[in-house]
Structure 1
Amino acid sequence: MDEDVLSTPGHLISLAARGFARLSETRLKPLGFGVGQLPVLVALQDGKASTQRDLARFARVEQPPMAQMLARMERDGLIERTRDPADGRSSRIVLAKAARDGMPEAIAALFQGNEEALAGFTDAEAAQLVGLLKRLIDNLDQIANAESASSDC
């Protein structure tokens, strides 16, 4: 079988992801944000996470890189840490005023970029693409979890 490895879903999705990351970074940088910070910013804005552990889980990254990112975000004035009243060893993380104020413009820039990237797609095609990508991510998560569980044995 003579398949073109450059036409596989994995490769094409990787190219699309890199393209989206470049586009998003270009538009977010002038606003003081980085594309890698998005999951943290959204989780904090929506109240879905407030500890480093929760944020790492939400963003699907390991604790050490999350700690480094949070340290940079704190240095850049995007987040603030306070002692957790229930657990003195832990910190609660909240968006700083600068981040809260800049989020609406950042989100608008991201939505505009997505709209431009989907030029020529119908609303139904765009919705189908999102649905398919969510299913693909779920499949990949299941595979990773199964492989992680089998390597722990």
Structure 2
Amino acid sequence: MAFNRMESATYLASLLARGFSRALQERGQKLGFAPGQFPVLLELWSEEGLTQRQLLDRLDIEQATMANTLARMERDGLIIRRKHPNDKRSQQIFLTDRARKMETAAKEAAAAAEQSLLSGFHRFEKELMLEYMRMALANSARQGETS
């Protein structure tokens, strides 16, 4: 039995993720952020002062990946870290003024990246695709719980 990668949801999802990442990278680079930083920015735009542990829990990212992402964001002037007032071992993460000012443009860049990849989709097709993606992600989360 031959494996047809174009019939594989896993293979296609990987290609699609890379496509979205590339489309966001092109737009985000002009604003000063990388695609891997965007989920962290979204969380911090929603609620500043989170700890690295809270970000890990919310974003389901590996510890090493998160540490590298935060170090790069700090280096790039997007975040600052401050000692947690109640937990000497933790640091809270805050956005810089630069990162706060780019929120609208960054969200618009992400929407434009999505639109470029979903060009030609009817609204209901996009909604169905998103629903199917959420279902697959829920299955993946359940699978992770039973592993």
TM-score (norm 2): 0.92
8 Å CA contact 2:50, 2:94 repeated in 1? yes
Distance apart, 1:64 and its partner CA: 2.1
Any idea what SS the aligned residue of 1:81 has? strand
Counterparts of 1:39-58 in structure 2, within 5 Å, are 39-47=39-47, 50-58=50-58
Q: How many residues align?
A: 147
The share of aligned pairs that are identical, in percent, is: 36
How big is the shift at 1:6?
Answer: 3.0
The TM-score, its normalising length taken from structure 1, stands at: 0.89
Task: Give the deviation of 1:48 after TM superposition.
Answer: 7.5
Which secondary structure state, in structure 2, belongs to the residue aligned with residue 38 of structure 1? helix
Structure 1 segments (4+ residues) deviating >3 Å? none
Structure of greater relative contact order (alpha carbons < 8 Å, 6+ residues apart): 2
- Give distance in 2, aligned partners of 1:18 and 1:117: 11
1:31-64 alpha-carbon deviations (Å, 9 max, x no partner): 1100001111001110187000111122211222
1:63 alignment partner in structure 2: 63
Q: CA RMSD in A?
A: 1.6
Task: Tell me the equivalent position of 1:151.
Answer: none
Partner residue in 2 for 1:22: 22
User: What runs of 5+ residues in structure 1 fail to find an aligned partner?
Assistant: 148-153
Kindly provide the CA deviation profile for residues 69-121 of structure 1, in whole angstroms up to 9, marking residues without a partner as x.
11111111100111111112211101111111112111101101212221221
Matches of 2:5 and 2:145 in 1, distance apart? Answer: 25
Greater CA drift, 124-133 or 1-10: 1-10
- Larger displacement relative to structure 2 (71-80 or 55-64): 55-64
SS at 1:89's partner residue? coil
Q: CA 1:143–1:10 in structure 2 vs 1: closer, same or farther (change >3 Å)?
A: same
